[in-house]
Amino acid sequence: MTLIYLIVALGLSAGLFLNRNRRAAYLITTLFLLVQWAFTLYVGFHLRTADSLYFTYDALGFLLLVTLSVVALPAALHSALYIERHQETSASRGIYLGSLVVLITAIGAGYLANHIAVVWIFTEITTLSASALIYHHRNKLALEGTWKYVFICALSISFVFIGILFLSLSLHYAGSTDLSWANLQANSASLDPFWLKLAWLFIFTGFTAKLGLVPMFTAGIDAKDTAPGPAGALLASVLMNLGFVGVFRFYTVVAHTSLHHWVGVVTGAAAFLSVFVAAAYMIRVRNVKRMFAYSGVEHMGLVMLGVVAGGVGYYAAILHIILHAFVKSSLFFQYNQLYRVYQSKSISYMGGYFRIAPAGALVLLLGFLSAAAIPPSGMFVSEWLIFRSLLEARLILPLVGVALLLTMILWAFGRNIFRILFLPPAMAEMPPASPAPAWESASQFILLALAVYLGFFPPDGFVDLIRESVSLLP
């Protein structure tokens, strides 16, 4: 079924690239969303089955696929609004929507991949499709952001490829050549430690470009800044989850080897440095999109600290990436409405947003509270569980350090948000009010409400799926 989904989705994408009719473009996009949700429901009804050697419908893949399908709906809606507002040419519209479909398709297939090489392939496809979206504005800044993204992601994907070679050498000593996750898990005790250590260094480093961790986090920052807001929402949420899948599935393998402690130290160091880098940049950042992007670096650092701590941290990590996807995408969707008023990314030129656009301002305020894990944010629950896991693992020093860094991030983030909402612009007179209609904020309220609901009132089935996702970990 996955192969049929890929063929249909890529066929629809090709139709969007070639099509020049406005109504047909939106009809094809709507048809793709129906296909996306039909495939998601199919996966749900066939949970815990293998579609083929290369794809499997497990709990983690299904949870993230549902998250992707939910975010894809407002992404398509706000993309259409963005295209119409900017009066895009038919060719530009086709490239944008076609690339959007390829990006969503590749992310979904990567979630379900049961083979590390297949994850690698679809991760590379996301780089190509995202690059077309990043370069959408066709200006100097877009070109700079695109080549940086392509260069760093090409380097990162090369790292993953080298890591796969080392992993195959490690598996060779176990008398096997099958690099599927299931086979790696079954032969984890027989993997050669030397080659496995090299494999982890390269594979983890490579996936940090998508996950948004040190050392390759810079690719995502520039990409989210230069891409249109709806595309940036996907890059800042569900694409980061694909990087998490690559790291997490491999972590479930090495967690059953003698390298578990060593891998935890390496991963924990990168996670802590990510929170530190996010705090350092958040204090000085004046670009609202980059502020949202650095907030994502902080959250991915927390997620990986939860994985390293183990115990309830495993559960908290999965919960956190799902809630983060809803919260961060809502902020990026709101950015287009913010830009419509101020015609600038600079926070210095923004102010008085509550007076100009109350609905949009409320989204910004609730989005900040959610991203900052301040109740009633659902992310308060996942962050509290991550801190609890650090305490139970007796990682006191990292816990104290992260708490201090999060305090700095909270202050810097809140200072900028409240300046946008309530204070007059620092560098310009108040612009003439031309806000987007209030109904355009509806999708963002739904996403934020969903994050609260899943954080505080998670359905039993949702909790069971998360527990099943982490059941292979010690």
pLDDT in tens, 184-203: 998 888 899 999 999 999 99
At residue 239, does pLDDT exceed 80? yes
For residues 310 and 242, membership in a common domain is answered with: no
21 φ/ψ angles, rounded to the nearest 5 degrees: -95, 130
**What is the rounded (10 degree) CA torsion for 194, 200, 202, 207?**
170
The helix-helix angle for 116-134 and 238-254 (nearest 10°) equals 160
Write down the pTM of the prediction: 0.95
For residues 170 and 314, membership in a common domain is answered with: no
Residue 21 lies in domain: 1-258
Q: Which two tokens stand for residue 322?
A: 């799902």
Residue with tokens 């090495």: 254
> Could you tell me the pLDDT band of residue 451, with boundaries at 50, 70 and 90?
very high
H or E stretch covering 153: helix 140-172
pLDDT in tens, 387-441: 999 999 999 999 999 999 999 999 999 999 999 999 888 776 666 667 888 899 9
Question: Do 198 and 165 meet the contact criterion of CB atoms below 8 Å apart?
Answer: no
**Residue 423 CB: number of other CB atoms within 10 A?**
12
- Assign 137 to helix, strand or coil: coil
For residues 160 and 289, membership in a common domain is answered with: no
The angle formed by the CA atoms of residues 437, 238 and 145, to the nearest 5 degrees, is: 80
For residues 347 and 450, membership in a common domain is answered with: yes
For residues 298 and 231, membership in a common domain is answered with: no
- Assign 366 to helix, strand or coil: helix
Q: Which two tokens stand for residue 321?
A: 């990436």
> Could you say which of 258, 279, 303 is where a domain stops?
258
**Total tally of structural domains belonging to the chain:** 2
Provide the terminal-to-terminal Cα distance of the chain, rounded to the nearest Å.
32
> Could you say which of 202, 225, 258 is where a domain stops?
258
Question: Rounded distance, CA 53 to CA 114, Å?
Answer: 7
For residues 249 and 326, membership in a common domain is answered with: no
Question: Rounded distance, CA 417 to CA 312, Å?
Answer: 32
At residue 39, does pLDDT exceed 90? yes
- Assign 287 to helix, strand or coil: strand
For residues 280 and 247, membership in a common domain is answered with: no
> Could you say which of 217, 237, 258 is where a domain stops?
258
For residues 160 and 296, membership in a common domain is answered with: no
For residues 287 and 330, membership in a common domain is answered with: yes
Q: How far is CA 296 from CA 122, 232, 274, 373, 382, in A?
A: 22, 12, 10, 13, 15
Nearest residue to 249 via CA among 210, 213, 203 = 203
pLDDT in tens, 162-177: 999 999 999 987 788 8
**Residue 388 CB: number of other CB atoms within 10 A?**
17
For residues 416 and 460, membership in a common domain is answered with: yes
For residues 210 and 302, membership in a common domain is answered with: no
H or E stretch covering 49: strand 49-50
Q: How far is CA 134 from CA 79, 236, 263, in A?
A: 13, 13, 34
For residues 253 and 313, membership in a common domain is answered with: no
